[in-house]
Amino acid sequence: MQVNGVRDARVWARMLGLQKAVVERVEFDEEQNLLVASVRPARGHRRRCGLCGRRSPGYDQGSGRRRWRALDLGTIIAYVEADAPRVSCPEHGIVVAGVPWARHHAGHTLGFDQTVAWLATTCSKSAVTQLMRIAWRTVGAIVARVWADTAQHTDLLNGLTRIGIDEISYRKGHKFLTVIVDHDTGRLVWAAPGADATTLTEFFTQLGPDRCARITHVTSDAAAWIRQAVTTHCPQAIRCADPFHIVAWATKALDEQRRTTWNQIRKAAQGTRPANPNDRPKGAVKTLKNARWALWKNPDTLTEGQREQLDWIAKTQPALYRAWALKEGLRTVFTIARRDPDEAIEALDKWISWARRSRLTPFTTLARSITHHREPIIAAITHRLSNALIESTNTKIRLIIRRGFGFHSPEPIIALAMLHLGGHRPTLPNR
C-alpha cells in the first residue's frame, strides 16, 4: 500500500513510533500477521556515521535493505524496513550509516528498546518475553544497550563525597559484583564484575584523582582488598566499619563456642548410662543442637520455647551463656551509639576488656580483631554511618538477579540494576 500525502506519512510514523523518518510504503501480510513499513531518514539525517552521528560521505550501498522490529500494532507484529548504506567516517572509518529511529547495530527501534527496558525494571521475566514476543537473552542485550546509551549522557560519579562499598554474589561458583552507592542520594552509582582490589581500583580510576580527593567517608566491611584500595586512592577518606558486620563476627564467634560445647557434651555422652533417663547427656546434645536460633536471635524476638532454651543454657552451660552475653553486649554498643556516640565508645572499650578476660577462645580472638579495626569502628559510631543503605541496595539487586535468571553474563544484570537503582529508570515512549 502506497502512502499518499504528508498527512498519511505522519500518521504512520506516529503509529510506528518513528521520529525524523518518512514512511514511503506499508505492506501487510495477513497469513503471517505481519506489517512492514518502508521508510527513509528525513532530510538532514541521511549519510551520518552510525557511531558518532557526524555527516560523512557515502561509501557504498552496504548489504542492501534491512529491518528493525517496531512496537506491535495491537496484535500485529510491525517492522521498519530501509536501505542500509555505508559511509566513510573521518573518525571511525567505514561504518553502516546511522538511522534516527534505532541505535547502531540494534535490530529494534528506539521505542521498542525503551518499552522493553521499562518492562524489565517493572515486570517478571516471563511477562516481558511473552508480551514483547522476544527471547530473554534479547531482553538482556536491549537493557545493556539502553543503559550504555544512558551512561554516555550521565555522569553518575559527579559530586560523590560519602560512598558505601560492598560485594554481592550474582551466580554460583564465586561470581561476585562490586557495588558502590552514594550515601547522600541513596543511589547505586557503580557496579562491575569481580570483588578484589583490581576491580575497586577500576572505579577509582574512572573517578579520577581530583574527585577521589573529595571523598570524605567510605563505609564497608573489614575486607582487606577494600581497605587496600581505599588507602591507596583516597588516603584522606574516613573509613567506617559496618556495625552489622561487626555484630556478625560476634554471632560467628558465639556459634564456634556453641559447636565446641556441643562436641564436649557429645563426647561425654558416649558410653554413659545414668540411672535417670532424663539425665542422659544425649538429651542435652539434642537440646543444645536445637537451641541455635535461641542463641542467634535478638532477645526481644525470641519465642516462648526459645526463651526456655536460653534459660536452660544459663543453668547448665555457663561458658556458652557467657558467649551469648558477649554477643548481646557488642550489639548493645551499637544500640547505644544511636543516642550517645561517646557513651558507645566507652562501652566498646569495656566490651573489649571483658572479651579479653572471658577465657573463651573465639571471643579473645574477636577482641583482637576489633582492637585492630577499632579506628574504623569508632568512626562509624561517631559519624553514624553504616552499610545499611548498601545492604538494602544489595537486597534489591538480588531480586533483580532472581528476576533476571537466565542472563549468561553480568553485563545485563549490572545494566538492569543501574537503570532500576541509579535514578535513571526508563520511561515508556511518548509518556
C-alpha cell belonging to residue 75: 496484535
35: cell is 506489517
Coil, strand, or helix at residue 215? Answer: coil
357 and 247 belong to one structural domain: yes
Task: Indicate if 134 and 206 belong to the same structural domain.
Answer: yes
pLDDT digits (tens, 9 = 90+) for 377-403: 999 999 998 888 999 999 999 888 887
Tens digits of per-residue pLDDT, 31-86?
899 999 999 999 888 999 999 989 999 999 988 899 999 999 989 999 999 999 99
Domain count, the chain: 3
Q: What does the alpha-carbon distance between residue 65 and residue 285 come to, in Å, rounded to a whole number?
A: 76
Answer with the one of 51, 72, 107 that is the final residue of a domain: 107
- Same domain for 369 and 284, yes or no, is yes
**% the chain with pLDDT above 90:** 56
Same domain, 131 and 26: no
- The mean pLDDT value of the chain amounts to 88
Between helix 243-269 and helix 318-337 the angle, nearest 10°, is: 170
Contact between 257 and 317 under an 8 Å Cβ cutoff? The reply is: no
Q: Are 199 and 254 within one domain?
A: no
pLDDT of 273 above 80? no
Other Cβ atoms within 10 Å of 146 Cβ, number: 25
d(CA 74, CA 228): 56
Whether 98 and 119 share a structural domain: no
Q: Are 313 and 344 within one domain? A: yes
User: Cα 60–62–66 angle (5° rounding)?
Assistant: 140
Identify whether residues 273 and 308 lie together within a single domain: yes
43 and 126 fall within a common domain: no
Give me the CATH number covering residue 153: 3.30.420
Residues 379 and 252 in one domain: yes
**Final residue of a structural domain among 107, 122, 141:** 107
Which helix (H) or strand (E) is 22 found in, with range? strand 21-29
26 and 72 in one domain?
yes
Question: In which band, very low, low, confident or very high, does the pLDDT at 283 lie, cut at 50, 70 and 90?
Answer: low
Could you tell me the residue range of the domain that residue 260 belongs to?
243-383
pLDDT range class, residue 13, cuts 50, 70, 90: confident
Three-state secondary-structure class, residue 94:
strand
pLDDT above 70 as % of the chain: 94
The tens digit of pLDDT for each residue in 96-128 reads: 999 999 998 899 999 999 999 999 988 888 889
Mean pLDDT of 156-178: 89
Instruction: Decide if pLDDT at 289 tops 80.
Output: no
Which residues partner with 348 through β-bridges? none
Last residue of a domain, which of 80, 107, 134?
A: 107
Query: At residue 153, does pLDDT exceed 90?
Result: no
Least confident of 228-242, 264-278, 336-350: 264-278
Amino acid code (one letter) for 408:
H
Comparing 82-86, 180-184, 296-300, 342-346, which segment has the lowest mean pLDDT? Answer: 296-300
Say whether both 251 and 345 belong to one domain: yes
Pair type for strands 217-220 and 188-193: unpaired
Is the Cβ–Cβ distance between 322 and 351 less than 8 Å?
A: no
User: What's the confidence (pLDDT) of residue 70?
Assistant: 95
